[in-house]
Amino acid sequence: MYTIAPVAKDVSRFDLTRSVVCRGLSQQAARPLMAISSLHRKAPGEILFAEGDEADSIYEVLRGTVRLYKLLPDGRRLITAFVSAGRLLGLALDDVCVYTAEAITDVTLYRYKRTAFERLVDEVPGLAMRLLAVASDELRTAQERMLLLGRKSATEKVASFLVLMAGQQGSDGAEEVAIPMTRSDIADYLGLTIGTVSRTLTKLIRQGVIAIPTANRIEIRDRDDLEHLAAGETDRDL
C-alpha cells in the first residue's frame, strides 16, 4: 500500500473554487466534504495507489498530471488515461483499485475517505447529481478512447491526442499545449510504438501543422488542419 503524506490537516485549506466535486454546492452543503478531505502533494514518478491496493480513498486532482495504467500479464504497460485538474480518481465499485495512478508532474490533490464520501452522497443535497455529471464526462472520455484505439490510423491517433490534450487544458484556442508525458507514455496510450509516434510528429511538423519548441510543449500552428486530421477528414498524405 502506498501512502501520501498530507500537506495540511486544516480543512480551512479546502478551496471551493478549485473543487470539481463541490462545484455548484453551497458553502453549507460543501462543509461535510471539507471535514473528510485532506490536501496532499506527490512528486513526479510517485505512486498515488497501485493496481490491487485497497480502494479506501477517492482523489480529486487540483494541479498536475497523473497517468493511469495497467500491466498486462506479459509485462507490457497499457496507459488508459492521462488525468489532469478537475478529474476524480478511485470511484471504484469494488474494494480494490483496478489500475495504478502515478504522478507525471508535481501533483496537488484532495483526498477523501471513501466510506465517509459514499455516505455523504446520500446526505449532501446536490452531490449525487454532481457525481453523475462527473461520471458522464468519464464515460464520454472512455468512449472517445475506444474510437481512438479502434479504427484510426497513426496520424489520426496522434492528432486526436493533441486535440484531446488541448481540450483537457481548457486551451481550445491556445497556440501551445503542455505535453508533460514522455513519447513512451504517448505510445502506450495510443497503442503505437515510440518510433511511430516520433515519425508522426515529425511529419506533422514538416506539414506545418505543429511545431515543437521544447520537449514538453507543442505549438499548434494549424488547428483546423489538426482537427481535420483527427477526424480523418483530409486527403493530405501523411
Interval 51-68: pLDDT, tens: 999 989 999 999 999 999
Residue 175 and residue 211 in contact, taking contact as beta carbons nearer than 8 Å? no
- CATH value at residue 182: 1.10.10.10
Task: Tell me the whole-structure pTM to 2 decimals.
Answer: 0.81
Interval 6-19: pLDDT, tens: 443 443 466 666 78
Q: Residue 199: pLDDT above 80?
A: yes
Q: Residue 190: pLDDT above 50?
A: yes
- CATH value at residue 131: 2.60.120.10
Residue 83 lies in a domain: yes
Residue 238 lies in a domain: no
Examine the domain organization and report whether 29 and 43 are in the same domain: yes
- Beta-strand ranges (E) seen in the chain are 6-8, 37-42, 47-49, 57-63, 66-71, 77-83, 88-89, 100-103, 107-113, 176-178, 210-214, 217-220
Q: Residue 128: pLDDT above 90?
A: no
Quote the domain boundaries for residue 199: 151-230
Q: What is the DSSP string of 27-55?
A: HHHHHHHHHTEEEEEE-TT-EEE-TTSB-
Examine the domain organization and report whether 157 and 143 are in the same domain: no
Residue with cell 481548457: 170
Last residue of a domain, one of 147, 166, 184: 147
Total of domains in the chain: 2
Examine the domain organization and report whether 24 and 119 are in the same domain: yes
Q: Centre a 10 Å sphere on the Cβ of residue 103 and count the other Cβ atoms it contains.
A: 22
Examine the domain organization and report whether 87 and 193 are in the same domain: no
Examine the domain organization and report whether 142 and 197 are in the same domain: no
Residue 130 lies in a domain: yes
At 13 the pLDDT is: 60
Cα gap 97→70, rounded to integer Å: 11
Examine the domain organization and report whether 136 and 18 are in the same domain: yes
Examine the domain organization and report whether 116 and 162 are in the same domain: no
At 7 the pLDDT is: 41
Cα gap 108→103, rounded to integer Å: 10
Examine the domain organization and report whether 209 and 119 are in the same domain: no
